[in-house]
Amino acid sequence: MNISENSASTISLKEYGIEHDNVHYQLSPRKLHDITLEKAMGNEASSGALAINTGEFTGRSPMDRFIVKDGVTTDEVWWGDINIPFEPEKFDRLYDKVIAYLNDKELFVRDCYACADHNYRMDIRVINEYPWSNQFAYNMFIRPTLEELKHFEPEWTVINAPGFKADASVDGTRQHNFAILNFTRKIALIGGTGYTGEIKKGIFSALNFILPVQKNTLPMHCSANVGTNGDTAIFFGLSGTGKTTLSTDANRKLIGDDEHGWNNENAVFNFEGGCYAKVINLSEENEPEIFGAIKKGAILENVIMDEAGNVDFADTSITQNTRVSYPIYHIPNVQRPSIGKNPKNIFFLTADAFGVLPPISKLTPSQAAYHFISGYTAKVAGTEAGVVEPVPSFSACFGAPFMPLHPAKYAEMLSKKMTNAGVNVWLVNTGWTGGPYGVGTRMKLKYTRAMINAVLNGDLGLYSYDAYHIHSVFGVAQPRECPGVPTDVLSPRTTWNDDEAYYRTAFKLSNAFRENFKKFEAFASEEIRRGGPQRYAY
């Protein structure tokens, strides 16, 4: 009997306080797809993918992410407005309320795990109110074999009740939605939001605490792939900077698109079993592998389709953050299991909407540590109608919302590992060229890919003084030539055609770096501080 194709399987949830047995255990993705359609909770796209709307929330809600402050976490967590404390008693009460809410609902349960390296494996049970959320868990976590399911003992539990609304005044939440991690009870409690990303990022945040504290392993918000010679590359970056896009490369095997660990046995391993790609303006021509992954089994979120089920990827009327989740085997060229050797190259991706950072530059070890702690990208904020301005956005370790510990802990571990492995570190601006947002244009994906390929093929790997120009503001080494890229694209100043405006804007950014770094100065050595920009506006 194949459990994954069996629609009649059930499981008792009494230990969680759920008394009824209207519980579907381990339904196949196909069955969950069909149930979603039957319940009119989604539609089928012409590609065969399931298309759903996540409801009120189409993105994560960082201000509603809490960590229970108790014996396990009090002294370890970096408390503040990212890691917001929640009282254990309040958690217990809210848990009971959510369970009472779920006690008359049909439920969907999935057993799965995180971490492709079994020394770090975390067995997870996901309990969902909605069938499509359970299919998301199938897509994103690693799928156990039937043999493994026989003696499955979940360590962590995700309880996901999008239809439950908290009462902030009595429950201790900020508003009706919440995502709360409890490291003592090993529960991620998610309510009031249907955004699926909360499920995967809940477990990611749990691992980002557990791996460094208990297993001396570095968790990273990065994608990873491996070349035909077994050379691993990893790509750090905040949302929208290109982790998923650039790691999905026909010529390299995908390890994973978002969450990895770097262990002490010289390997990088994926936490997940699937990908979660942005689909805004997706085209088959530019991103054929991701486009091809959108088929039966994949789940499209918050996209607009015509009557025939054809998706208009340019339509952002629901959100800019349209997404698709799919199991990693939807991508043709993947590494199995999802583990690679120590990386040879590390890319820090940034979408610089000021358009002043070079499209690619090489970082010294000091600069690498400085940029990792800074975690720079830029957002474009619409203010009044028609007026848009770049806003610098700094997120430590390129993933502060998911990092329960002080950024210095992760940075120290990364620096040590980089030195031991002798990696090269590159800063890649996938953002604007020829001027800031509104004036310039987004860097062409084909150029970014050419620059990354040049690094991976060794065409930019050798550090010789002549081959690089040291940027006068940021101090990074900007290559003069790169195969497949017009030479003037490599120098942001040249693309602006206005030196004065260029330097004024570059100083705006270097000042923003300095301002942001103040809060880390006490933790950073002189060597790391030296990795910052070289010049500032006076």
Is 150 among the residues known to form the active site?
Answer: no
Is 60 among the residues known to form the active site?
Answer: yes
Which of 280, 305, 391, 467 is close enough to bind ligand ATP by CB under 6 A?
A: 280
Span interacting with ligand ATP, options 20-28, 110-118, 124-132, 276-284, rule CB under 6 A: 276-284
Q: Which is nearer to Mn ion, 241 or 433 (CB)?
A: 241
Note whether 124 and 278 are within 8 A (CB). Answer: no
- Helical segments of 13-120, H only: 29-38, 88-102
Which of 430, 453, 491, 510 is close enough to bind ligand ATP by CB under 6 A?
A: 430
Is 243 among the residues known to form the active site?
Answer: yes
Is 393 among the residues known to form the active site?
Answer: no
Is 258 among the residues known to form the active site?
Answer: yes
Any contact of residue 445 with ligand ATP (CB under 6 A)?
yes
Site string for ligand ATP, 42-81 (x = CB under 6 A): ----------------------------------------
Which strands sit side by side in the sheet containing 424-429, from one edge to the other? 253-256, 222-226, 232-237, 343-350, 424-429, 360-363, 477-479, 468-470
Residues that bind Mn ion (CB under 5 A): 243-244, 258
Residue in 372, 478, 376, 464 with CA at minimum distance from that of residue 417: 372
Minimum CB separation from ligand ATP for residue 255, in Å? Answer: 14
User: DSSP 3-state assignment of 44?
Assistant: strand
| Spatial distance between the Cα atoms of 537 and 44, rounded to a whole number of angstroms | 54
Note whether 218 and 413 are within 8 A (CB). Answer: yes
Minimum CB separation from ligand ATP for residue 426, in Å? Answer: 13
**Looking at beta carbons, which residue is closest to Mn ion?**
244
What is the DSSP code (8-state) at residue 5? G
Span interacting with ligand ATP, options 13-21, 34-42, 146-154, 438-446, rule CB under 6 A: 438-446
Residue 209 phi, psi dihedral angles, 5° rounding:
-95, -50
Site string for ligand ATP, 240-269 (x = CB under 6 A): xxxxxxx-----------x-----------
Which of 207, 224, 277, 454 is close enough to bind ligand ATP by CB under 6 A?
A: 277
- Which residues have a Cβ under 8 Å from the Cβ of 445 and sit 6 or more positions away? 245, 286, 287
| Spatial distance between the Cα atoms of 97 and 37, rounded to a whole number of angstroms | 29
Q: Which of 31, 69, 243, 330 is catalytic?
A: 243
Minimum CB separation from ligand ATP for residue 213, in Å? Answer: 24
Q: Segment 175-194, which members bind ligand ATP (CB under 6 A)?
A: none
Q: Which of 244, 325, 433, 448 is catalytic?
A: 244
Residue in 274, 301, 244, 328 with CA at minimum distance from that of residue 49: 301
- Say which entry of ligand ATP, Mn ion, none residue 200 contacts (CB below 5 to 8 A, set by partner kind): none
Neighbours of 496 (CB within 10 A): 22
Q: Which is nearer to ligand ATP, 85 or 292 (CB)?
A: 292
Q: Which is nearer to ligand ATP, 239 or 478 (CB)?
A: 239
Residue in 140, 369, 349 with CA at minimum distance from that of residue 247: 349
Any contact of residue 395 with ligand ATP (CB under 6 A)?
no
| Spatial distance between the Cα atoms of 369 and 379, rounded to a whole number of angstroms | 23
Minimum CB separation from ligand ATP for residue 229, in Å? Answer: 24
Q: Which of 173, 239, 245, 361 is catalytic?
A: 239
Minimum CB separation from ligand ATP for residue 358, in Å? Answer: 13
Any contact of residue 433 with ligand ATP (CB under 6 A)?
no
Note whether 151 and 183 are within 8 A (CB). Answer: no
- Say which entry of Mn ion, ligand ATP, none residue 445 contacts (CB below 5 to 8 A, set by partner kind): ligand ATP
- Say which entry of Mn ion, ligand ATP, none residue 186 contacts (CB below 5 to 8 A, set by partner kind): none
Q: Give the Å distances, CA to CA, from 407 to 125, 235, 260, 347, 403.
A: 29, 18, 17, 19, 7
Residue 219 phi, psi dihedral angles, 5° rounding:
-90, 145
User: DSSP 3-state assignment of 191?
Assistant: strand
Which of 110, 125, 253, 278 is close enough to bind ligand ATP by CB under 6 A?
A: 278
Residue in 475, 241, 465 with CA at minimum distance from that of residue 358: 475
Enumerate the active-site residues: 60, 201, 221, 239, 243-244, 258, 323
**Which residues here bind ligand ATP, judged by CB under 6 A?**
237, 239-246, 258, 276-278, 280, 430, 442-443, 445, 448
